[in-house]
Structure 1
Amino acid sequence: MSLDVALRHRFPAAALDLAFTAPLGVTALFGPSGAGKTSVANAVAGLLRPDSGHVRLNGRTLFGPGVWTPPHKRRIGYVFQDARLFPHLTVRKNLLYGAPDDTNLAHIADLLDITPLLFRRPTHLSGGERQRVSIGRALLRMPELLILDEPLSALDAARKDDILPYLERLAGEASIPILYVSHSLAEVIRLADQVALIAKGRLAGFGTPEAVFSDPHLAAHLGPRAAGAVVSGHVTGQDADGLAVIATKMGDLVLPLPVAVGQPVRLRIMAEDVLLARARPEGLSALNILPARVLDLHAQGATVLVRLTCGTDQILLARITGRSATALGLAPGAPVHAILKSAALVVQS
């Protein structure tokens, strides 16, 4: 199952011109506000008719030369930023609105933990609960594709933390492609199997989160704090002082993270949070000092993005000044030690 997209459309002040294929799993449309992410989602759903191109879902042409399938016949579930529930209907009736039957109601309600809410009305739900009901309604229509357009943007931090585990569970169980529109780095790294990086209406990069966020050539499109490594691993131990031991391709990391043994995790290590030394330093407070080798260097003004390989082919980025790179004598192949100042946890259930 896959989604094949090629779109060209001119707006009064901008243009959309991109193509990608989204496989089974979660493909994040990532980029800054105004990049064109929602326009792509609307074109796929049939809410925008592009000037040219095509949209093919599982081999079915929904849009192309001489073909236009109206939105209600595309078998696409769309979840907007706001839940858009009917206030006069119960949660159960909202869920079943547009559904062919109630065969999957119990499963979807259990998946999203909304079974206790079935006979409430939307006015008696929290923002996170309303959004879970909206997702459930989209799923019960038995779609071939699910689009989630900034589904957490209207929620506060606590509500986002509440709903993310349900989105993770959905991503793990869904047997359809999912387009996840977001400008949140943490959400995309946590949920996405593939990332379509969109900048000014064009596809700047496409690939796994590990590949996209560690590509120095894409750093200018990612923003000042997005470039860095995405590291997958799992917790192998909890030390007596509360530090978690996480096994990764770059070696074991020791971090103050509240996660259980056996828990799979993703870590994001920003380029700014990696220091470099030619010899292993002593007397530092940093707990994670790893041998690495320089792959290449990319000058960006007064700074340099240094791409490293660490452990078993783990890519790591470090942003240092050009002066520091010269003083260290950095060049492709040079051995160094990478000192990790911090790493942000992205839990995976």
Structure 2
Amino acid sequence: MIEVAVRHARGAFALDAAFAAEGRVTALFGRSGSGKSTLVDVIAGLVRPDHGRVVVDGVTLLDTQARVRVPVHRRRIGYVFQEARLMPHLSVRQNLLFGRWFSRDRDGGPSLAAVADLLGIAALLERRPAGLSGGERQRVAIGRALLARPRLFLMDEPLSALDEARKAEILPYVARLRDEARVPIVYVSHAVAEVARLADTVVVLDQGRVAACGPAAEVLRRGALFPGRETAETGALLHLRVAAHDDAFGLTRLEGAPGRLTVPRLSLPEGAGVRVRVRARDVLVARDVPRGLSARNVLPGTVTTVTPGDGAHARVEIACGEAVLVAEVTRLAAHELALAPGLPVLAIVKSVAFDEETIGVVEI
């Protein structure tokens, strides 16, 4: 459980934000200048706020009213920055052991070998940072923080300095860290794809204030909270399991709350849990059963809300079983189909709409 309440002025910018979250990953989302980095710096103890309270798992790290301020080095927080910040004159092994040095007075915690295996860096231990890719350097930085045996991870846009290929390389390791290390993470990002792949709770910041806070599946449905092109990346977040594979056609069948989804073949065993993001822009809405359609996923549901957006668009929420899908349609289509709460409809999604950005392995 993480509890944060901060009021702090820095020049013309005022941060006045409070949230409480529990779960493995809490994502702080917002456009540049919304206060995300300042907030995590307060949690880390790098910024002294005018007023604030920070509690992690019942341990008070900061309470300005009670004059409690735990020093940075005693907060047991692992901080992973946008840049890896490794020591260039040391090997990967020595950089990792530097993290262990900070936890020499603490019992337990993972071994260097366990961390190297978790992050896929065992083969890199004798190399220097200059010979590593950006993704490899970030994995080493994460390992160094983990070996310090933190009670909390702060990850401030750790993928923002990487190209798309390196981001795709490192995201599965961050997911493994979430599922296997059992250390809560506060993850700062302005990318919906990262947030959807990793987060249990999403806190949206706007101009220094909390615009929304709640379970990722609920917040990511609210496209109006997300700026610019990120609005198109929002939609439903589903937890499903691998039911079967169709090797002849290269497909995998997933089953869960909304029913059955067919996606491109996944390299996962039957029964594995997955988190699937169904983008609103990838969902079609029909009143009648379509014929001669290439899309494999046709899910019956009931319209729950229709929200007109800016310009020509409208967002439609559809209850499919115990899950809710979101479709982005034109206002004209919503009018011609007479979409309204209570109307039975079919939500249609192409199988090829799913890719490595929209499907992630997760423990359920």
Residue matched to 2:165: 158
**8 Å Cα contact 2:201-2:213 kept in structure 1:** yes
Matched, 1:251 2:264: no
Alpha-carbon distance in structure 1 between the residues aligned to 2:231 and 2:82: 26
Alpha-carbon distance in structure 2 between the residues aligned to 1:299 and 1:159: 37
Query: Where do 1:33-52 residues align within 5 Å?
Result: 33-52=32-51
Pick closer, same or farther for the CA change 1:259–1:111 going to 2, 3 Å: closer
In the superposition, the TM-score normalised over structure 1's length comes to: 0.92
Pick closer, same or farther for the CA change 1:58–1:347 going to 2, 3 Å: closer
Alpha-carbon distance in structure 1 between the residues aligned to 2:85 and 2:329: 47
Give secondary structure in 1 for the equivalent of 2:348: strand
Residue matched to 2:314: 304
Matched, 1:128 2:129: no
Pick closer, same or farther for the CA change 1:17–1:257 going to 2, 3 Å: farther
Pick closer, same or farther for the CA change 1:333–1:139 going to 2, 3 Å: same
Residue matched to 2:342: 333
Shift of residue 6, structure 1, vs aligned partner: 0.3
Residue matched to 1:279: 288
Shift of residue 7, structure 1, vs aligned partner: 0.9
Residue matched to 2:360: 347
Alpha-carbon distance in structure 2 between the residues aligned to 1:223 and 1:205: 16
Give secondary structure in 2 for the equivalent of 1:224: helix
Alpha-carbon distance in structure 2 between the residues aligned to 1:86 and 1:156: 22
Alpha-carbon distance in structure 1 between the residues aligned to 2:132 and 2:89: 13
**8 Å Cα contact 1:233-1:248 kept in structure 2:** yes
Matched, 1:242 2:234: no
Report Cα offsets for 1:69-92 as digits up to 9, x if no partner. Answer: 221221111011111111112222
**8 Å Cα contact 1:189-1:346 kept in structure 2:** no
Residue matched to 2:304: 295
Pick closer, same or farther for the CA change 1:241–1:249 going to 2, 3 Å: same
Pick closer, same or farther for the CA change 1:275–1:17 going to 2, 3 Å: same
Residue matched to 1:100: 103
Give me the CA root mean square deviation. 2.1
Give secondary structure in 1 for the equivalent of 2:233: coil
Give secondary structure in 2 for the equivalent of 1:225: helix
**8 Å Cα contact 1:276-1:339 kept in structure 2:** yes
Give secondary structure in 1 for the equivalent of 2:135: helix
Point out where structure 2 has 5 or more consecutive residues left out of the alignment: none
Give secondary structure in 2 for the equivalent of 1:82: coil
Amino acid at match of 1:123: A
Amino acid at match of 2:279: M
Residue matched to 1:228: 235
Aligned length: 347
**8 Å Cα contact 1:254-1:287 kept in structure 2:** yes
**8 Å Cα contact 1:307-1:315 kept in structure 2:** yes
Alpha-carbon distance in structure 2 between the residues aligned to 1:194 and 1:224: 18
Amino acid at match of 1:346: I
Shift of residue 221, structure 1, vs aligned partner: 8.7
Pick closer, same or farther for the CA change 1:103–1:25 going to 2, 3 Å: closer
Alpha-carbon distance in structure 2 between the residues aligned to 1:232 and 1:60: 32
Alpha-carbon distance in structure 1 between the residues aligned to 2:275 and 2:110: 35
Alpha-carbon distance in structure 2 between the residues aligned to 1:343 and 1:93: 40
Match of residue 208, structure 1, among 211, 215, 233: 215
In the superposition, the TM-score normalised over structure 2's length comes to: 0.88
**8 Å Cα contact 1:25-1:174 kept in structure 2:** no
Report Cα offsets for 1:308-336 as digits up to 9, x if no partner. Answer: 101x2210111222222221122210111
Identity level (%): 48
**8 Å Cα contact 1:22-1:177 kept in structure 2:** no
Residue matched to 2:324: 315
Residue matched to 2:89: 88
Pick closer, same or farther for the CA change 1:87–1:180 going to 2, 3 Å: same
Give secondary structure in 1 for the equivalent of 2:289: coil
Pick closer, same or farther for the CA change 1:220–1:126 going to 2, 3 Å: closer
